[in-house]
Amino acid sequence: MSVRLVATDLDGTLVRRDGTISARTVAAVRRAREHGVEVVAVTGRPPRWLTGIAGLDEVVGGGVAVCANGALVWDVPGARVLRAHVIEPDAVLAAARILLAALPGAVVAVETLQGFRRTPEYVPRYDAQVAAPVAPLAELLADDPGVVKVLVRCEGRSSDEVLATAARVLGPLGHPTHSGARDGLVEISAAGVSKAGTVAALARERGIGPDEVAAFGDMPNDLEMLCWAGQGYAMADGHPDVVAAVGGTAPPCEDDGVAQVLDRLVGDPPGAVRAR
């Protein structure tokens, strides 16, 4: 069956190390659209981190992006949240208590509908986070800001280690994952919320089945989506567990891997002349 929807991760999949999307990839996405294929960006980033990615507007084509690992559906041209899956404050506090007990030295922050907030122990790594509200976790949640992700970082451990512990102890309180193997950071969404689930809901609304979807990604937060899609492609230089678990492989991001696969899946529209 032909592909009607492409769901693609951003960092390490579509977005290169220099923070841009290549001209070749933009052209391949444009050709896919000319064939009637919808392309949806699916990322762990919050919506505010979508701005400034060169080429992204052409990729999403005035449509939607799935952000915060599936917790948000974002109207890109309208700059507004269309759908949100939030974690209730009591569940955030309970999850944090369990994780801090299981991971000595771990620190906690939250991504909310109102922006990033952190506890005093959580040292920001990005300049944009320095001015974020800082307080004990209960105070950060007092106004029920709509938590879309809980961030738990444990210095000195790999993200794989932290994720394994979180998956073991959290139970129904949340859905943990990660998008970077070496930084000791795990991101927790509401129970049952993932990139896969939100993309599946978007597909159903469009009358598109899993076998009509091609998905691309490189990290554990992409794995469920890649396994759900009829054609899932792990980037060849992605997390080894993801590459091993997914049936299809795309060349590395820096080699325009998504564009290479799209060219094979979709090809050129009638009469088109591809630039060389």
For the stretch 178-228, pLDDT in tens is 998 778 999 999 999 999 999 999 999 999 999 999 999 999 999 999 999
CATH 3.30.1240.10: which residues of the chain? 89-189
Contact (Cβ atoms closer than 8 angstroms) between residue 73 and residue 200: no
CATH 3.40.50.1000: which residues of the chain? 5-84+194-265
Give 150-179 pLDDT, tens digit per residue.
Answer: 999 999 999 999 999 999 999 999 999 999
* Strand duo 72-75 + 80-84: pairing: antiparallel
Segment 88-93 shows an average pLDDT of 98
Segment 139-149 shows an average pLDDT of 98
The two structure tokens encoding residue 19:
């923070």
Q: Which CATH architecture has domain 89-189?
A: 2-Layer Sandwich (3.30)
Q: Is the pLDDT of residue 126 over 90?
A: no
CA 14 – CA 255 distance, rounded (Å)? 10
Give the model's confidence band at 59: pLDDT under 50 very low, under 70 low, under 90 confident, else very high.
Answer: confident
Q: Supply the pLDDT for residue 180.
A: 87
Q: Which CATH architecture has domain 5-84+194-265?
A: 3-Layer(aba) Sandwich (3.40)
Q: Is the pLDDT of residue 93 over 60?
A: yes
